[in-house]
Amino acid sequence: MADSKDYYATLGVSRDASDDEIKRAFRKLSKKYHPDINHEPGAEQKFKDINEAYQVLSDKQKRAAYDQYGSADGPQGGGFGGQGFSDFGGGQGFGGFDDIFSSFFGGGGAATGRTQPRAGADLQYRMDLKFEEAVFGKKTNISYNRKGRCHVCSGTGAANGEQPQTCSKCHGRGFVTVQRNTPLGVMQSRETCDVCHGTGKEIKDKCNNCQGSGVENERHTIEVSVPAGIMDGQQMRLDNAGEAGENGAPFGDLYIVFRVEPSSKYERDGADILMTLDVSFAQAALGDDVKADTVHGPVELKIPAGTQSETKIRLRGKGAPRLQGSGTGDEIVTVRIHTPKHLNQDQKDALMKFAAASGQAVKPHESSLFDKVRDAFKGK
């Protein structure tokens, strides 16, 4: 590791950053620059630098050595790179002929492929809410299946509390360089290490529960605080609630997608709640004080005299909380004048008098024979 590398700057954190801050920075940057996602020039190298920085700063001993000496390997001195010629080709110091060859044909001495930390996969969970639950929010526990760290070996893959050792064959690279004689001469190729299978770690005694993988399928339960005012189709992210990462990398995230059941009485327009209220012609014409339902409970609503159908009345603060910003929306009541389908004789006489007083000559439609028979069966 070159002294010129500033691992803190690579991850964008301060030198006194906590383990959680380093982990969050690594997760964010590794997703941004992953070669499978980011195809911009230099993204792959940036991804390697991020992984290298995380490998050092996430290890307490390596980080302490780096902070003191500028290298995770401790104080350097003497010879070339502090190792002397005796280490040339031995997998340290210059990194050996393997690394010199690799530097010309892609890659380098740093661990690649399966040896790199890989953040765990993100998961998605659908949560169904009733209308009022979305308005006021709630706390609830959810359970889902995921790949978690093995509870027996704590994710190391090794039995009896042991820690995996650097592979004795590939020296932690995850690959070996193989020479073959061909008609064109001696050719070199890189192959996955058959001892560690590309992980760079050698486990002498594998955990019986996870067979050395460090992960196991589990039913995970977590408490979720549903924010008040959430709407249908919106989602929230829970850090580290996804699947376990590989090679010491952090867990992925859990994305909860909300589906809100429609209400038979209300509708949502952002933080505002919409409702329709039926009133009679007399109430609309003369005015009245009526009870109107809200999600916060019934309130008294004043219907002004002469109110027309489809008039909208706003009830301040009777809506849903605003997710972005502060305060609460309103309830908007649409007044609809209800016209009765069946009138008794007194009601008809009263309306005829009203029409006459208004200077209108109304000729009521007589009920059909079918209507009379139907009303007779209904006892009218």
Residue ranges for the known binding site for Zn(2+) are 150, 153, 167, 170, 193, 196, 207, 210
Say how far apart CA 203 and CA 127 lie, in whole Å: 41
**One-letter amino acid of 140:** T
From 339, 284, 300, 294, select the one nearest 317 (Cα to Cα).
294
Say how far apart CA 265 and CA 199 lie, in whole Å: 59
**Strand, coil or helix: what is 311?**
strand
Say how far apart CA 32 and CA 144 lie, in whole Å: 27
Say how far apart CA 331 and CA 333 lie, in whole Å: 6
Annotated binding-site members: 150, 153, 167, 170, 193, 196, 207, 210
Can you state the angle between helices 43-57 and 60-69, rounded to 10 degrees?
100
11: left (phi over 0), alpha (psi -120 to 50) or beta: alpha
Kindly report each contact of residues 61-69 with a partner whose C-beta sits within 8 Å and lies 24 or more positions away, as own/partner: 66/1, 66/7, 67/15
Structure tokens at 118: 């890989």
Say how far apart CA 282 and CA 350 lie, in whole Å: 11
Check if the beta carbon of residue 170 is closer than 8 Å to that of residue 176: yes
Following CA atoms 360, 366, 367, 370 in sequence, which dihedral angle do they give, to the nearest 10 degrees? -150
